[in-house]
Structure 1
Amino acid sequence: MKIAVYGATGMVGSQIVAEAVRRGHEVTAISRKGAPVEGAAVVRAADLADVETYSEVAHAHDAVVLATVPDRTGGSRQPYIDAHRAIAAVPTAARLYMVGGFGGLKTPDGTPIKDTPGFPAEYKGESDAVYVAYEALRDAGADLTVQAPAAVIAPGERTGEYVTAVDVPAAGERISSQDYAVAALDELEQPQFRGTFFTASN
């Protein structure tokens, strides 16, 4: 499979690249600076907002992984949203695989976790932006799968073991970035959650 990964140098994106390479897929690693990523067949410098490049990439790959995040330095998160709205309008046969946020999962009554009283205020703005970006892709009718992490995601051990759930949190409060990538590649290779917002946790 030919897989392109935007955000390929980030905590999650780099692990998805590593896992895809480990399984023998041909990977194009894309980041703003085009930094080298071990194992990638191709390394490119591009911003997700560059719609022309995105269109070229999407047409040349079987799947495009969107592992970018909104601004975390205090700047506006609107460019992140605008980029997703722009690529949502690009027709492509490629499968889109978005790294979502835990806050986009729902409580039993259907309320997004990001909108519940106990959700940490410092993560609210980012969670809102990620969810709006997801809605843009979903509403455009893209062949989209969104994978949210557990409440806590951090580098750790690749165990290859995880549990899943759709729309609501899975059992377990943590997942390693390595096992997040295992779940992502399992889904890309043998789809079970196509068109859903699902999550995996250890």
Structure 2
Amino acid sequence: MADITIIGGTGFTGSHIAQEAVARGHRVTSLSRSLPVAPLEGVRYLTGSADEPEQAVEGADVIVATVSPRGDSAGTLGRRYGHLAELAAASGARLVVIGGFSSLRPAPGAPRFAEGDDLPPQFAGEARELNAVLGDLIENAPAGLDWVFVSPAATYGSYAPASEPRGSYRVGDDVALFDAEGTSFISGQDFAQAVIDEIETPSRSRAQVHFAY
């Protein structure tokens, strides 16, 4: 059993991860700006800013960062996640950063999607900010910090078509996974399963991991 703190624990990704974690018997703390309409039994909910996460991360074995750089959070992730990295390194917690598909590469050694000029304009800012977080972890993460940057499939999130969870997924590194039809997809439930699997049985350290069908 682990003490898991989720920054942004009431959003799409955070709430799915929280649900999967408590179902497996982990102790979960959520930090978000507001309380959920339907709280999950077994989750300790705290309200506050991701700029001041100390109350939520104290005693955590794992810190999961799920903030999306949208709205008034745009442009804040570098500062906020840098602070989380320092707190995690000081306490010995593992830092799990939920990033984006655009931080993946189309082929081994190729530039990441976020480094190109053909990103859809409605996603470009978010993609580049999350990719900058990955770059900062690679270049500047505190020595000894155990971090992993998690990229979901291209079609993932609250906007994606609803689907029944499959109970399975594939695992990659920094190269995008596609199915036989050329689709990159994963449901919220199966992505959460993959994240908790990675927390329970770590397969990467100071590296990127990718989950898709």
The CA distance in 1 between the partners of 2:206 and 2:163, in whole Å, is: 29
- 1:22 lines up with 2:33 in the alignment: no
Question: What's 2:58 paired with?
Answer: 59
The CA distance in 1 between the partners of 2:174 and 2:23, in whole Å, is: 29
Q: Residue 42 of structure 1 is aligned with which of 41, 44, 48?
A: 44
For the 8 Å contact 2:46–2:56, the answer to whether it is kept is no
Moved more, 33-42 or 167-176: 33-42
TM-score, length basis structure 2 = 0.84
The CA distance in 1 between the partners of 2:97 and 2:31, in whole Å, is: 14
For the 8 Å contact 1:163–1:171, the answer to whether it is kept is no
For the 8 Å contact 1:59–1:94, the answer to whether it is kept is no
For the 8 Å contact 1:8–1:31, the answer to whether it is kept is yes
Unaligned runs of 5+ in 1: none
Question: What's 1:11 paired with?
Answer: 12
For the 8 Å contact 1:29–1:37, the answer to whether it is kept is no
TM-score, length basis structure 1 = 0.89
Q: Count residues in correspondence.
A: 197
- Spell out, residue by residue over 1:122-179, the C-alpha distance to the aligned partner (whole angstroms, 9 max, x if none): 2111011112223334422331111111110135322211011101112331000111
Q: 1:15 to 1:76 in 2, by over 3 A?
A: closer
Moved more, 4-13 or 102-111: 102-111
For the 8 Å contact 1:159–1:179, the answer to whether it is kept is yes
RMSD: 1.9
1:107 partner amino acid? P
Q: 1:156 to 1:6 in 2, by over 3 A?
A: farther
Deviation, structure 1 residue 107:
2.7
Deviation, structure 1 residue 87:
2.6
Question: What's 1:127 paired with?
Answer: 127
1:106-185 correspondence to structure 2 within 5 Å? 106-108=105-107, 109-138=109-138, 139-141=140-142, 142-153=145-156, 154=160, 155-172=162-179, 173-185=184-196
Report percent identity of matched pairs.
27
Q: 1:135 to 1:57 in 2, by over 3 A?
A: farther
The CA distance in 1 between the partners of 2:178 and 2:197, in whole Å, is: 19
Q: 1:76 to 1:60 in 2, by over 3 A?
A: closer
For the 8 Å contact 1:19–1:181, the answer to whether it is kept is yes
